[in-house]
C-alpha cells in the first residue's frame, strides 16, 4: 500500500507547550472544573474573612479554600514536570539527532514510528475523536493513545487534504 500522508516533527518546547496547554487549559471539562474551583475558592475566602460568617462557617470556609488549593497545586506540579520533560526531550539527542516523531497515513491505518525506530500500527476504527489546536491535530484512540500531527510538518500531502481525508472517514474536524 502507498502512503497517503506523511508527517514528521521534533519534540520541542513549543510542541510541549501547545500539547499540554490543550490538555490542561482548553478542554471544556477542565475549564468548567477550574471555574467551579475558582468560585468555591472565592466563596471560601468570603466565608473566612466576613465577620458574620466567621463563627458559624469556619470549617466550610476552609473546605472551600483547601480543595481548590490542593487541586491547583497538583496541577502546577504536573505542569512543572511536563515542562521539565519538554526541556529534557528538546535537549536529548538520539544518535546525533533530535527526537522526531514520524507518522505515515494509509487508507485504513496509521503507522507511528518512534524516535527509536519502533513502529506502531493504529487502525482508523480505533480512532474515536479528532481535536485541533493552533498547530496540532490530535487523534484520540480507544486505548487512550494520542496520535499527533503538526500542521506545518506534512512531508507528503497537505493539511487541507488531510482534513478532507479525516472528514471522509467520518470525523468532525475543523480546518
What is the rounded CA–CA span in Å between residue 138 and residue 32?
Answer: 21
| Average pLDDT estimate for 30-39 | 76
Question: With 80 as the cut, is the pLDDT of residue 153 above it?
Answer: yes
Mean pLDDT over all residues of the chain?
78
Question: With 70 as the cut, is the pLDDT of residue 18 above it?
Answer: yes
Q: What is the pTM of this model?
A: 0.66
Does domain 5-11+98-168 match CATH 1.10.150.120? Answer: no
pLDDT digits (tens, 9 = 90+) for 54-112: 555 666 667 777 777 777 777 777 777 766 766 665 555 555 556 678 999 999 999 99
Percent of the chain at pLDDT exceeding 70: 76
Q: Which of 84-88, 118-122, 124-128 has the lowest mean pLDDT?
A: 84-88
DSSP strands (E only) in 12-98: none
Residue ranges of domains in the chain = 5-11+98-168, 14-91
Question: With 70 as the cut, is the pLDDT of residue 53 above it?
Answer: no
Question: With 90 as the cut, is the pLDDT of residue 32 above it?
Answer: no
Amino acid at each position: 500500500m502507498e502512503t497517503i500522508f506523511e508527517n514528521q516533527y521534533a519534540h520541542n518546547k513549543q510542541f510541549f507547550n501547545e500539547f499540554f496547554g490543550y490538555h490542561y487549559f482548553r478542554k471544556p471539562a477542565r475549564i468548567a472544573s477550574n471555574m467551579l474551583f475558582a468560585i468555591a475558592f472565592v466563596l471560601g475566602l468570603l466565608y473566612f474573612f466576613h465577620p458574620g460568617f466567621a463563627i458559624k462557617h469556619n470549617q466550610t470556609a476552609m473546605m472551600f479554600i483547601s480543595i481548590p488549593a490542593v487541586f491547583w497545586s497538583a496541577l502546577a506540579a504536573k505542569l512543572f514536570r511536563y515542562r521539565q520533560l519538554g526541556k529534557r526531550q528538546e535537549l536529548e539527542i538520539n544518535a546525533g539527532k533530535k527526537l522526531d516523531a514520524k507518522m505515515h497515513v494509509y487508507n485504513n491505518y496509521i503507522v507511528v514510528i518512534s524516535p527509536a525506530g519502533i513502529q506502531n500500527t493504529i487502525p482508523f476504527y480505533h480512532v474515536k475523536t479528532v481535536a485541533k489546536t493552533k498547530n496540532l491535530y490530535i487523534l484520540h484512540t480507544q486505548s487512550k493513545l494520542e496520535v499527533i500531527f503538526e500542521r506545518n510538518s506534512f512531508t507528503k500531502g497537505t493539511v487541507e487534504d488531510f482534513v478532507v481525508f479525516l472528514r471522509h472517514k467520518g470525523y468532525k474536524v475543523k480546518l
